[in-house]
């Protein structure tokens, strides 16, 4: 069977795609691939200077790339709302929302809203962004929301509702895992709520990708990185599961894509499954309610929400 590559991405002309964290790594490669297929790509980045450098890098390979820069700091709900207001003035409809940006295993920090940095950025920021832009996605036939999770979701024993912000005892790997598990719980609950709509929600993970995301790994792990680097793949390969979830005509809402190699560490994208906790409907609904309360963002009433 033929492996899935960017050559299989259908023409994206006339479509608008928003990619968070598009200035580096997986997001940069995702944006480049979509631009190469004709999409108008909004590079949603925290640092506009780095965003400009990313846009220049893309246009060196894709000379006619149709790009737009948008400042977005997912660690600030005020920034999310400001970015949404600006996006809404420019775009009546959105075809693809790629929730890619994230942070991985930093020392304990909080967002400007007081949330643990990984949970606040990786999950709550994207939850708010999606909810505030959803009415721009719903009218677009074939629109998709793709949220990037990680194999690391398996590090989380669950969602620590009793200490959601890790104020009592901080474990950076488990906190990262919680944020990535939250990405999946959010995707599956969102898809259930989208039943009957033109829009679908999917998830993807890049396997082990050699990107800047790992710069905050604990020292002992950092020292081992050179030894395990052969297990990692380049960002262009790591972006393929996201791109397949976003563009494959055969991809369905609620699906999860990852690499096809040993342990899903590397390889070409295929349909994969997440851990048992991620499919817990009650856990999905509880996290949804808490996320609405923490962000102050309520999604439009959707038919599937009553299911």
Distance separating alpha carbons of residues 78 and 278, to the nearest angstrom: 29
pLDDT given for residue 1 in this prediction: 72
Asked if residues 37 and 64 have their Cβ atoms less than 8 Å apart, the reply is no
Distance separating alpha carbons of residues 50 and 175, to the nearest angstrom: 27
Per-residue pLDDT of the chain (307 residues; tens, 9 = 90+): 789 999 999 999 999 999 999 999 999 999 999 999 999 999 999 999 999 999 999 999 999 999 999 999 999 999 999 999 999 999 999 999 999 999 999 999 999 999 999 999 999 999 999 999 999 999 999 999 999 999 999 999 899 999 999 999 999 999 999 999 999 999 999 999 999 999 999 999 999 855 554 545 555 454 444 544 566 799 999 999 999 999 999 999 999 999 998 888 999 999 999 999 999 999 999 999 999 999 999 998 765 555 5
Within 114-249, strands assigned E span 144-148, 200-204
Question: Angle 214-220-225 (CA atoms, 0-180°, nearest 5)?
Answer: 45
Residue 153's nearest CA partner among 113, 227, 203 is 203
Beta strand 269-272 with 66-71 is unpaired
Distance separating alpha carbons of residues 47 and 113, to the nearest angstrom: 19
Single out the catalytic residue among 170, 176, 256, 279. Answer: 176
pLDDT given for residue 40 in this prediction: 98
pTM for the model stands at 0.92
Distance separating alpha carbons of residues 33 and 146, to the nearest angstrom: 15
Inter-CA distances, 290 with 9, 105, 297, Å? 36, 23, 11
Residues across the chain: 307
DSSP character for 209?
B
Residue 209, C-beta contacts closer than 8 angstroms, at least 6 positions apart: 25, 26, 232, 233, 234, 235, 237, 238
Angle between helices 25-36 and 240-247 (to 10 degrees): 40
| Structure tokens that stand for 168 in this block | 């009592």
Distance separating alpha carbons of residues 144 and 272, to the nearest angstrom: 18
pLDDT given for residue 210 in this prediction: 59
Q: Catalytic: 176?
A: yes
Please provide residue 19's backbone torsions phi and psi, each rounded to the nearest 5 degrees: -120, 115
Residue 294's nearest CA partner among 27, 111, 171 is 111
Fold of 7-294: Rossmann fold (3.40.50)
pLDDT given for residue 300 in this prediction: 84
Sheet holding 16-20, edge to edge: 66-71, 40-45, 16-20, 96-99, 144-148, 200-204, 256-259, 269-272
| Structure tokens that stand for 135 in this block | 């009415």
Characterize 38-65 residue by residue with b for buried, 16 or more Cβ atoms within 10 angstroms of its Cβ, and e for exposed: bbbbbbbbbeeeebeebbeebeeebeeb
Give DSSP secondary structure letters for 109-122.
-B-TTS-BHHIIII
| Structure tokens that stand for 230 in this block | 């052969």
pLDDT given for residue 227 in this prediction: 44
């Amino acid at each position: 069977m033929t492996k899935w590559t960017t050559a299989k991405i259908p023409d994206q002309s006339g479509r608008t795609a928003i990619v968070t964290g598009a200035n580096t790594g997986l997001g940069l490669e995702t944006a480049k691939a979509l631009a190469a297929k004709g999409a108008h790509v909004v590079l949603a980045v925290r640092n506009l200077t780095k965003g400009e450098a990313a846009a220049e890098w893309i246009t060196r390979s894709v000379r006619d790339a149709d790009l737009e820069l948008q400042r977005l700091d997912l660690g600030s709900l005020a920034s999310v709302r400001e970015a949404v207001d600006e996006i809404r003035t420019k775009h009546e409809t959105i075809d693809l929302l790629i929730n890619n940006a994230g942070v991985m295993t930093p020392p304990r920090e909080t967002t400007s809203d007081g949330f643990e940095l990984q949970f606040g950025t990786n999950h709550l920021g994207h939850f708010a962004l999606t909810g505030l832009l959803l009415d721009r996605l719903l009218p677009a036939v074939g629109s998709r929301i793709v949220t990037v999770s990680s194999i690391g979701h398996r590090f989380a024993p669950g969602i620590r509702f009793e200490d959601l912000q890790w104020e009592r005892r901080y474990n950076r790997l488990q906190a990262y895992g919680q944020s990535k598990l939250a990405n999946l719980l959010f995707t599956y609950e969102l898809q259930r709520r989208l039943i009957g709509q033109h829009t679908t929600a999917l998830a993807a993970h890049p396997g082990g990708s050699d990107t800047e995301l790992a710069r905050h790994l604990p020292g002992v792990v950092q020292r081992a990185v050179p030894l395990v680097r052969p297990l990692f793949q380049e960002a262009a390969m790591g972006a393929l599961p996201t791109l397949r979830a976003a563009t494959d005509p055969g991809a369905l809402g609620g699906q999860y894509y990852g690499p096809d190699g040993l342990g899903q560490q590397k390889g070409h994208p295929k349909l994969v499954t997440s851990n048992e906790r991620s499919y817990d409907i009650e856990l999905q609904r509880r996290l949804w309610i808490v996320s609405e309360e923490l962000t102050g963002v309520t999604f439009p009433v959707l038919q599937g929400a009553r299911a």
